[in-house]
Amino acid sequence: MADKKRVLITGAAGFLGSHLCDRFLAEGCHVIGMDNLITGDMRNIEHLMPRDDFEFYHHDVTKFVHLPGKLDYIMHFASPASPIDYLKIPIQTLKVGAMGTHNLLGLAKDKGARILVASTSEVYGDPLIHPQTEEYWGNVNPIGPRGVYDEAKRFQEAITMAYHRYHGVETRIVRIFNTYGPRMRVDDGRALPAFMSQALRGEDLTVFGDGSQTRSFCYVDDLIDGIYRLLMSDCADPVNVGNPDEISLKEFADEIIALTGNRQKIVYHPLPQDDPKQRRPDITKAKAILGWEPKVSRTEGLRRTLEYFKTVVEGQQ
Ligand code: NAD
């Protein structure tokens, strides 16, 4: 249909990108997925390939991006996202945040499209205020190993605001806090997939540091809903989207052991450099502007995610 909204989603074969594809298709949009598969997996979107309202381009967004036809929205989610990935491919991480974002802002300007970029709680670094509000400027070590990701995302925010201010492009910036759910990679090095796959294999769970560092985990359906609302809002300033329900990594590991019904131990390994000690979003702004707050409890979210990880881990055995 000619009046369908057309949306480009970069990072479409990744964890969040693939869920966004599902959401925009459910909203009746025509979705164009783009990914170079550096950390993504075509299995995340193979269910969409037969659809007429979905197309996929295997493309690196740090190279010029050309698309024929009109475009209403761009969702820029391409970027390695877990420490294990961005420590392995640091230059690509910097390039996709910088050059990739520049290319997509140029495309948004050319097409008159609204663009939403995926930023992160990592822009706050190891935060000195708690919980983190959007007004906090962060505490990032630019030359530490994690700096490649944090600074790429900080540059991404800066160039996005510059396109908004100087070219009048309609921009949105979401600061995403830790999110979990089906289609996370088992081996992406983040705490939840590591804990769940270790528990399901009957191995001990590895906690880095003494486990007292905190995180707050948002279920993917909640996050996608917050992002969709932000895109449809008129807010150009960054907005935190995440779940403020904070938990220590030790308690989190205990919950997963209890959920899997196994009796593993927790083993402690040294803390990686610049690992943040505390992370919790202040979502006052998202509540006020988007009328959004998370709905899925951690018990329910973990149950749904465990079902997914069971199929993956069983498939590997
Ligand atoms: P992911 O690794 O599953 O997905 C990222 C996708 O981007 C992959 O499919 C990868 O192949 C693709 N990609 C990377 N570089 C590319 C390039 N140059 N050209 C085209 N495609 C490229 O990660 P994710 O967890 O789905 O994260 C998606 C976005 O959300 C990222 O921008 C990330 O920084 C952001 N984010 C995620 C979280 C989270 O908890 N998952 C938290 C904060 C921010």
- Quick one: pLDDT band at residue 190, thresholds 50, 70, 90? confident
Write the pLDDT tens digit of every residue in 224-234: 999 999 999 99
Per-residue pLDDT at 263: 78
- Pocket probe mutation, ligand 1, options 20, 60, 62, 79, max atoms within 8 Å of Cβ: 79
Write the pLDDT tens digit of every residue in 238-282: 999 999 999 999 999 999 999 887 778 899 998 877 777 888 999
Helix, strand, coil fractions of the chain, as percent rounded to 5 = 40, 20, 40
Write the pLDDT tens digit of every residue in 159-181: 999 999 999 999 999 999 999 99
Residue 206 has pLDDT above 90, yes or no: yes
**Among protein residues, the one whose CA lies closest to atom 4 of ligand 1:** 14
Pairing of strands 179-180, 246-248: unpaired
Domain boundaries, the chain: 6-180+218-244+286-290, 191-214+246-278+296-316
Per-residue pLDDT at 264: 82
Q: What is the mean pLDDT of the chain?
A: 94
Per-residue pLDDT at 179: 96
Q: Nearest 5°: CA angle at 305, between 300 and 310?
A: 130
Give the range with max mean pLDDT: 24-28, 193-197, 205-209, 256-260. 24-28
The pLDDT of 114-137, averaged and rounded, is 95
The CATH topology of domain 191-214+246-278+296-316 is UDP-galactose 4-epimerase; domain 1 (3.90.25)
Return the CATH superfamily for domain 6-180+218-244+286-290: NAD(P)-binding Rossmann-like Domain (3.40.50.720)
Per-residue pLDDT at 123: 96
Separation of 122 CA from ligand 1 center, angstroms? 14
Write the pLDDT tens digit of every residue in 11-30: 999 999 999 999 999 999 99
Instruction: Name every residue whose Cβ is closer than 8 Å to that of residue 187 and which is 6 or more positions away in sequence.
Output: 84, 193, 197
- Contact residues of ligand 1, CB 6 A cut-off: 10-11, 13-17, 35-40, 60-62, 77-81, 96, 100, 118, 120, 176, 178-179
Rounded CA separation 63/100 (Å): 7
